[in-house]
């Protein structure tokens, strides 16, 4: 970031799911596809086939050793603008905490961001943009259950499980110990899957709760042609990490 360029992972090799080799290069590596540009809304061409890169391999003690390095760029470096690269933007733990506290008291985002900017001595000293703050707060709001809602949910699941031994549920928490995703299936759902689990449909188009958490039901069809429920999930957002957690939990 101090030198004035962004970086991206160009390639990696894994053995038994563990990364063993990795190549990290300048974000301007490669060639822009001009033919795919929208003529009505063209984007600036950033790819210059820059060859600056770093190659490393994992050793037996799990430490990494650099095997090749090149810092020859074929473009102008811009230290003053490098903070705008997506790979260089990072919200610090202190900034996250202040954003959450101010948002909880009703402070609007523009003023919330201005507070951080003044404390840092100017926007050029912040390693993130106002857009990153907005995205973070939107995510926090989705995970911020109302007073008592999280404990009520867990108590309800425990109560159901005490009555129905085949009731299954699991809850995924984020780094702040807030509910991020959850999945549940009762005995009827599990029995229906045993009989009619040959074909399963999955949909996340439902947003029927006040937290805007997509509802993700697993549905099948019985011998009467009627839809039957195999399990239910609530996810904080429709991204790869959450879908992987939901599908792995479903398989469990």
pLDDT surpasses 80 at 65: yes
Q: What is the DSSP letter of 133?
A: H
Q: What are φ and ψ of residue 192, in 5° steps?
A: -65, -35
Query: Taking residues 84-106, what's their average pLDDT?
Result: 78
Contact 42, 23 (CB under 8 A): no
pLDDT surpasses 70 at 194: yes
pLDDT surpasses 70 at 238: yes
pLDDT surpasses 60 at 75: yes
Kind of pairing, strands 64-70 and 215-221?
Answer: unpaired
Confidence band (pLDDT; 50, 70, 90) for 244?
very high
Confidence band (pLDDT; 50, 70, 90) for 33?
low
138 vs 163, which has greater pLDDT? 163
Query: Model-level pTM?
Result: 0.46
pLDDT of residue 213: 74
182 vs 144, which has greater pLDDT? 182
Query: Taking residues 217-229, what's their average pLDDT?
Result: 91
Strands (DSSP E) contained in 79-156 are none
pLDDT of residue 218: 92
- What lies within 8 Å, CB to CB, of 35 at 6+ separation is none
The H-assigned helical ranges of 10-65 are none
Query: Taking residues 68-72, what's their average pLDDT?
Result: 86
Give the number of other Cβ atoms within 10 Å of residue 185's Cβ.
21
pLDDT above 90 coverage of the chain, percent? 15
pLDDT surpasses 90 at 7: no
pLDDT of residue 247: 92
pLDDT in tens, 120-159: 888 777 778 888 888 888 777 766 655 556 677 788 888 8
């Amino acid at each position: 970031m101090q030198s004035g360029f962004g970086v991206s992972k160009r390639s990696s090799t894994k053995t038994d799911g563990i990364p063993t080799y990795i190549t990290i290069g300048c974000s301007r590596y490669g060639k822009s596809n001009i033919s795919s540009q929208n003529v009505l809304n063209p984007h600036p061409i950033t790819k210059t086939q820059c060859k600056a890169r770093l190659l490393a391999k994992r050793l037996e003690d799990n430490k990494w050793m650099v095997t090749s390095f090149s810092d020859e760029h074929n473009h102008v470096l811009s230290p003053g603008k490098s903070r705008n690269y997506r790979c260089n933007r990072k919200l610090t733990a202190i900034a996250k905490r202040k954003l959450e506290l101010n948002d909880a008291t009703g402070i609007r985002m523009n003023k919330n961001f201005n507070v951080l900017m003044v404390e840092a001595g100017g926007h050029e000293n912040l390693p993130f943009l106002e857009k990153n703050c907005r995205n973070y707060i939107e995510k926090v709001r989705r995970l911020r259950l109302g007073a008592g809602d999280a404990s009520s949910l867990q108590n309800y699941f425990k109560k159901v499980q005490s009555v129905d031994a085949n009731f299954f549920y699991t809850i995924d928490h984020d780094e702040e110990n807030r509910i991020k995703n959850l999945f549940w299936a009762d005995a009827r759902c599990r029995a229906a899957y045993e009989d009619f689990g040959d074909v399963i449909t999955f949909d996340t188009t439902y947003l029927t709760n006040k937290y805007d958490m997509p509802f993700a039901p697993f549905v099948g069809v019985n011998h009467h042609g009627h839809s039957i429920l195999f399990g239910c999930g609530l996810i904080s957002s429709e991204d790869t990490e959450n879908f992987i957690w939901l599908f792995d939990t479903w398989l469990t």
